[in-house]
Amino acid sequence: MNLRTLMVVSDPAISAYVAAHGVDRLFVDLEWMGKAERQPGDTWKSRLTPEGVSAIRNAAPEAEMMVRVNPFHEGTHTEVDDAIARGADVLMLPMFRDAETVARFRDMVAGRAGIMPLVETKSALGAMPEIAALAPESLYIGLNDLHLDLGMKFMFQPLADGMLDDPCASLRAAGVPFGIGGIARVGQGAIPAEMVLAEHARLGSEWVILSRGFHDRAASVSDLEMQGFGAAVQALKDYAAALTGADDLDRRHDEFTRTVGDLVARL
């Protein structure tokens, strides 16, 4: 399994550092519309301005940079044009509910950047075959908003319950690279990162977002250095690369399902 990593960044110096230490795609977040209402707890909420996109691009000119815009609305075209002008290589569209919206977004981008639709609603998950047929450069399944939209208690429940198996099969059949959720360091996490990586391997996922816990909400490059950030990213990729064997992955899925079920029972 050739794992590729994303990391949400807002600080230019940190962006340059992580891009040089194993992060494959910088994730610059401009989404704010409806976020606080959907996720009232302690979840990531961007405070970045469009000017921050330029600052990150200037700090890491060679890095691949993805910008998440707001959900599709009357100002989306302006947001798309501005993000591309500031150097975005990929644009992420959140909180859509059908393939038609993805098609409109793709046409709006018009090949000037890649697109990575973010599937985080029940209806979008159900429309995965139609979305895959649009052949986006990549796609992401966001477990945080998705589990809330499904009325579940814990973000890994859709993965444990098998709800992603058929949608991921549609993506594999269409040849669309995709990613799922966030991940902690090897040996860490409410659900151990090793279990989560086995699910990525089983489903054919190629991308994962490094969680805030992965870098302990580092506020500076020195924080990341003290944490051994680069070595931790490499350990994650090394573990993923060693995952082989369909039978073993099925066994690991059963273990993952039991572990998630036990955690949900305690919530």
Q: Decide: helix, strand or coil at residue 264.
A: helix
Angle of CA points 265, 266, 267, to nearest 5°: 95
pLDDT at 206 > cutoff 80: yes
Model confidence pLDDT, tens digit, residues 207-259? 999 999 999 999 999 999 999 999 999 999 999 999 977 779 999 999 999 99
Percent of the chain with pLDDT over 90: 92
- Three-state secondary-structure class, residue 6: strand
What's the confidence (pLDDT) of residue 210?
Answer: 98
pLDDT at 68: 98
Q: Say whether pLDDT at 198 is over 60.
A: yes
What range does the domain containing 245 cover?
Answer: 4-266
The pLDDT value given to residue 152:
97
pLDDT digits (tens, 9 = 90+) for 16-66: 999 999 999 999 999 998 766 655 655 544 678 999 999 999 999 999 999
pLDDT at 245 (0 to 100): 74
Number of domains in the chain: 1
Q: For residues 46 and 80, give the distance between their C-alpha atoms in angstroms, rounded to a whole number.
A: 17
List Cα–Cα distances, 228 to 70, 137, 158, 185, in angstroms. Answer: 33, 32, 32, 11
Res 41: pLDDT: 57
Q: What is the CATH number of the domain that holds 188?
A: 3.20.20.60
The model's pLDDT over 177-197, given as tens digits with 9 standing for 90+, comes to 999 999 999 999 999 999 999
- Looking at residues 86-90, what average pLDDT do you find? 98
DSSP string, the chain: ---EEEEE---HHHHHHHHTTT-SEEEEE---TTHHHH--SS-------HHHHHHHHHHSTTS-EEEE-PSS-TTHHHHHHHHHHTT-SEEE--S--SHHHHHHHHHHHTTSSEE--EE-SHHHHHTHHHHHHT--S-EEE-HHHHHHHTT-SSTTHHHHTTTTHHHHHHHHHHT--EEEEEE--TT-TTTTHHHHHHHHHHHT--EEEEPTTTTTT--SHHHHHHHTHHHHHHHHHHHHHT---HHHHHHHHHHHHHHHHHHHHH-
Flag whether the pTM goes above 0.95. no
Say what the pLDDT of residue 40 is. 61
